[in-house]
Amino acid sequence: MKKLKGIGLLLLSNILIIATLSITFTILSQVLLPFFGIDIRGVVSGSNLLFAAFFGFGGAFLSLAMSKFLAKRMVGASPITQPRTQAEVLVFETIEKISERLKVKMPEVYIYESPDPNAFATGPSRNNSMVAVSTGLLQNLNQNEIRAVLAHEMGHVYNGDMFTTTVLAGLMNTFVYLIANFIYRLLAERSEGMALMAYFVIQMALSFLAMIPISWWSRRREFSADKFAANTVGKEHMISALQSIDRWVNQVQYQYQSEDALATMKISGQTRSFMQMFSTHPPIEARVDALKQL
């Protein structure tokens, strides 16, 4: 029944968004723009919007459906079904207890080799998800800090962050395709080659710009997951976990700067700069400040 609710919500949200876009587009193109002397009815039709939505949301939801499969392959994660070490027991039992408390199906639990203290959650729904932790997380954080990070990831699962991010990505994909296609149609009458070149350039540029609202949402959800972890295991443990990760980042960044300046590109989401608009995580100091104010 829970699976049906998750799938139903996903499909309903997708249908409502496409319907809203279709209605909005129809009113805009058939009523508002002609009223101001702008007639695009011969250039763009409702079928273009539906076609754009089909590819935009279709690609986004296909990515969501494959998210666990792709994540496992990308990091080379190994499943924890029968914990063998003390660290694996800690990870498995923490996720199990939080799942029982939230009354959600326990996510698949994985561990992967990586020196950086990290963890992530993904999956199509809160009852079909996975949580993976790096060996670096287990080696550099204490037990309470590890519990806090795991609670943070379970916050993502419980809040349905994967789904809402997918909806936003689908929306951005739709507008990117629609605008690029609109420009192509305008230029195609003059030169097919120029129109095709402009289409690809505009689509790439808009796809890059579309990362700004998606990244903004991602940063907002990090604060929500931090708050969830604070309410679950205590904010002092979440703060301590972030500070431990920050110390590791600063240490590694210093080593990179001493050995290979280009390697610092591996560190992201740590400083306040223009590129932070494209970062999926806010600076650690901002997250610590937000936790302290709870």
Active site residues: 153
Q: How is residue 30 annotated by DSSP? A: I
For residue 155 the two structure tokens come to 């916050």
Q: Could you identify the residue written with the tokens 């690809």?
A: 200
Evaluated on CA atoms 202, 205, 207, 211, the torsion sign reads: negative
d(CA 231, CA 110): 24
Q: How many other CB atoms sit within 10 Å of the CB of residue 17?
A: 18
Q: How many other CB atoms sit within 10 Å of the CB of residue 191?
A: 11
d(CA 287, CA 239): 8
Angle between helices 143-159 and 192-233 (to 10 degrees): 130
d(CA 165, CA 204): 20
Q: Provide the CA 294 distance to its chain's centre, in angstroms.
A: 24
Helices (H), the chain: 2-27, 33-35, 46-65, 67-75, 86-102, 135-140, 143-159, 161-188, 192-233, 235-259, 284-292
Q: How many other CB atoms sit within 10 Å of the CB of residue 206?
A: 18
